[in-house]
Amino acid sequence: MNIEIDFFTLWRWMLALVVLIYSGIVLWQTAAGYWVWLSSGDRYTGILRRYLMVHSLRVRARAFGADIAVCLLLCVTLGLLGWLHWLGVGGQL
Amino acid sequence: MAATSAGGDDLLAAWTDTQIRSEAEKLGADTSPAAIRTELLKALHDQRRRIVAMDEEVMSGVLAWAGVLPGPAAAGEGLAARKERLARAIVKINTMRFAGLSHEGLKVLAILRGVPVRGDEPVPVLIEYLRASEGMLAKLGRKRRSIMGFLAEKLVGDTPRAPAADAGPAPAGSKRLKHEIEDQGLLGGIANRLRKSADGYVQEKLDEIEARIDRKLDEIDSRLSDWRDKEIANRIRIIKITLWATVVISALSLLYLYVKSHLP
């Protein structure tokens, strides 16, 4: 049995997996910490929570619309490149 | 030590004649010096009955007209107790100028000054009854205080200016110094005027402080909004740069793959 292992590809996939898990855990921990703190029944934390919600609702997409549109286009481009990569790896390119 | 009509009959039985007389006078009942205990109790009960029958809004209107506060309310105070509290404050009003007081207010004032009224007398008759109820000594004292008030007004320089033609009625509770001294004596009138000036000054300063705090809060709110927008813009910029880098590397990788697959 002759198994070909591309170490570079292996390294890329391992790195992507580790970074994904690590960033997921850190994001979850931060979000959970903020959620627990803002959910507390303390009067002043309640005022802060409502104030944060009001500020979030006041954000206008018009101010960041252009940047968000560029990010979406880049995501589409990345998806396209990924699909072409997959075609290339499959020998169809 | 006020025994209100709400459950105070047992307390009254334990009181001395002097206490009953004092309580009756505080509620404006007409008591003669020679009245015996039963007569005093009857006067007190009758006055309480009249007070309970009064309209609370009219009583509050009389106090507002005189510029007097009714005193702090007790916890769990009932309607009858509230009316008695207002009545005690009205009894302390001893002015003999009735301009601006309504017909109902005059009736309430007359009842609380011990003037027997039927209730259907017109305003001029009520005013005449109230003026007639003032004793000779009280009248002389009031005239003396009026002269002192006039002199004090001249001394202080607080002479009233003629109101402008388009000015509305004077605010309720605003009185000339002369009239305040006439009603409450020299020291009482001056102290009252000083208190009102101090209250006005403190109110003005509190309003100023409140306006300043509001301005600061608005400033903080506007700064937080700007900071929020800047932060969001920075985060989106970071995501954009990361995506650009990823797209460029992917493009290079694709190019490499293409060249590698098509090299001979």
- Do residues A33 and A17 both lie within one domain? yes
Domain count, chain A: 2
The pLDDT assigned to B159 comes to: 61
CB pairs under 8 A between A and B: 53
Test B261 with A88 for CB contact under 8 angstroms. Answer: yes
Range of the domain at A79: 62-93
pLDDT at B8: 60
Specify burial of residue B112 (Cβ count, 10 A radius: 0-12, 13-18, 19+): buried
pLDDT of residue A2: 67
Nearest by CB to residue A81, choosing from B237, B240, B247, is B247
Of A55, A68, A78, the CB nearest to B247: A78
Same domain flag for A12 and A36: yes
Predicted confidence at residue B72, as pLDDT, reads: 77
CA B260, B262, B264 angle in degrees (round to 5)? Answer: 95
pLDDT higher than 80, residue B33: no
Residue A66 and residue A55 in one domain? no
Cβ distance A67 to B250 less than 8 Å, yes or no, reads no
Report yes or no: B203 at the A interface, CB cutoff 8 Å: no
Are residues A33 and A69 both part of a single domain? no
Is A68 in the same domain as A55?
A: no
By the CB < 8 Å criterion, does A88 face chain B?
Answer: yes
What is residue B218's predicted lDDT score, i.e. its pLDDT? 95
Predicted confidence at residue B158, as pLDDT, reads: 67
A67 to chain B: which residues are within 8 Å by CB? 233, 236-237, 240
Confidence (pLDDT) at B232: 92
pLDDT of residue B1: 44
Over residues B23-28, the mean pLDDT reads 86
Query: How much is the mean pLDDT over chain B?
Result: 84
Return the residue in A11, A58, A87 with the most chain B beta carbons within 10 A, the one to mutate for interface testing: A58
List the single residue in B with minimal CA-CA distance to A76: B247
Least confident residue range of A29-43, B106-120, B191-205? B106-120
Co-location of A9 and A33 in the same domain: yes
* Residue A51 shares a structural domain with residue A87: no
Q: What is the pLDDT of residue B258?
A: 85
* Least Cα separation, residue B213 to chain A (angstroms): 18
Is there a single domain that holds both residue A88 and residue A73? yes
pLDDT at B43 over 50: yes
- One domain for residues A43 and A77: no
Q: What is the ipTM of this complex?
A: 0.78
Let me know whether A50 and A76 are in one domain. Answer: no
Q: Which chain A residue is nearest to residue B250, measuring alpha carbons? A: A81
Same domain? For A66 and A53 the reply is no
Same domain, A73 and A50: no
The answer, as to whether pTM is greater than 0.80, is no
Kindly report, residue by residue over B64-82, the tens digit of the pLDDT: 888 887 777 777 888 888 8
Give me the residue from A74, A78, A88 closest to B258, CB to CB. A88
Name the residue in chain A with its Cα closest to that of B225.
Answer: A55
Structure-model confidence comparison of residues B193 and B211, the more confident one: B211
Say yes or no for a CB contact (<8 Å) between A82 and B250.
Answer: yes
Taking the C-alpha atoms of residue A83 and residue A76, their distance in angstroms, rounded to an integer, is 11
Which among B233, B243, B251 is the nearest to A64, CB-wise? B233
Nearest partner of B64 among B194, B218, B226, B174, judged by Cα: B174
pLDDT in tens, A20-51: 999 999 999 999 999 999 998 889 999 999 99
- Contact list, A70 vs chain B (CB under 8 Å): 240
